[in-house]
Amino acid sequence: MGLGLKLNLVLLFVFTFGLALFYFLSEPFLEKQAREEVLTRARIMMESAAGTRQYTAREVAPLLTAQMKSTFHPQTVAAYAAMKNFEVMRTNYPDYSYREAALNPTNPAHRAVEWEADIINDFRAFPGKRDVVTYRDTAQGRFAHLSRPIKVEERCLVCHSRWEAAPRSLIVAYGRSNGFGWKRDEIIGAQIVSVPMALALQHAHQTRFFFMKLLAAVFLLLAIPLNILLRAVVLNPIQRMSQIAGDVSMGKSDVPEYAKPGSDEIASLSASFNRMRRTVEEAMKMLGESLKR
């Protein structure tokens, strides 16, 4: 096995080890970046929903309060407005979803399922929490959920304190079994924005493989000139000196000396080799003259 091949095998081993190390060390970093990307999108959508809720409660609901006695208008409900607004946004983000889940909702369609109830109960146990981030694997892939608590405000009690005090139109629309008995400052539900992780994780994998290809390109850019330099500076001079040594050992005396220009180690070796050759040739001549006598 030649010196060049040995060096290339060492370089290949170092490159392979470094590439594997990069692959495993970059995984948690890139996945963290993917999670942050997803949560940034979720927070933007959550703020949009919160803005819609505030606008509905402050601007729209007061305009329709008088009509609520005879006709129930869901447009006055902040949760309804926020979810309708999100449905428009889903035109461009079909995999995203927004829910206002509650333990005791007026509309049974908004009743929390098991995992949503766990989030709401966590908010009830720790009222100081502003938001919670959870991850869940589904048949559609892994999802990130950003959740915020829904706290009962004074204006909520107009419809949700006792069913006797609620507008008749609300009772007609939903009955009197659900959505009552709320208390001020009680956490009764959660806003939940669900964002798929698949695209962000795909981008993370693409970034990882891009940098791995970049590292491979850098390795080739280093290995090719290094091999050229190794052959020109080390291997060719050594092969030339080896050939001269072989010719001299076969008794050839007309072989020219090899003198490598420069002041590096190979140049010093060639100078020492030439001195040794001259010494050997002189010793052989002296030995030959002695034998003639």
pLDDT digits (tens, 9 = 90+) for 59-104: 887 777 777 667 777 777 888 888 888 888 777 878 888 999 999 9
Q: What is the pLDDT of residue 9?
A: 85
Q: Does the predicted model carry a pTM greater than 0.75?
A: no
**Residue 174 domain boundaries:** 27-202
In the listed set 202, 233, 255, which residue is the last one of a domain according to the structure? Answer: 202
Any domain includes 19: no
Q: What is the pLDDT of residue 233?
A: 77
Q: What gap in Å lies between CA 207 and CA 211, rounded to an integer?
A: 6
Q: 221 with 277, same domain?
A: yes
Q: 215 with 283, same domain?
A: yes
Any domain includes 116: yes
In the listed set 182, 202, 222, which residue is the last one of a domain according to the structure? Answer: 202
Q: What is the pLDDT of residue 230?
A: 80
- What's the total number of domains in the chain? 2
Q: Are 23 and 208 in contact (CB under 8 A)?
A: yes
Low-confidence ranges of the chain (pLDDT < 50): none
Any domain includes 6: no
Q: What gap in Å lies between CA 138 and CA 165, rounded to an integer?
A: 41
Q: What is the pLDDT of residue 102?
A: 92
Any domain includes 1: no
Classified as helix, coil or strand, 229 is helix
| CB-based contacts of 279, cutoff 8 Å, min separation 6 | none
Q: 79 with 223, same domain?
A: no
Q: Are 169 and 70 in contact (CB under 8 A)?
A: yes
Q: What is the pLDDT of residue 291?
A: 64
Any domain includes 34: yes
Any domain includes 266: yes
Any domain includes 18: no
Q: What gap in Å lies between CA 124 and CA 116, rounded to an integer?
A: 13
Any domain includes 83: yes
In the listed set 186, 202, 218, which residue is the last one of a domain according to the structure? Answer: 202
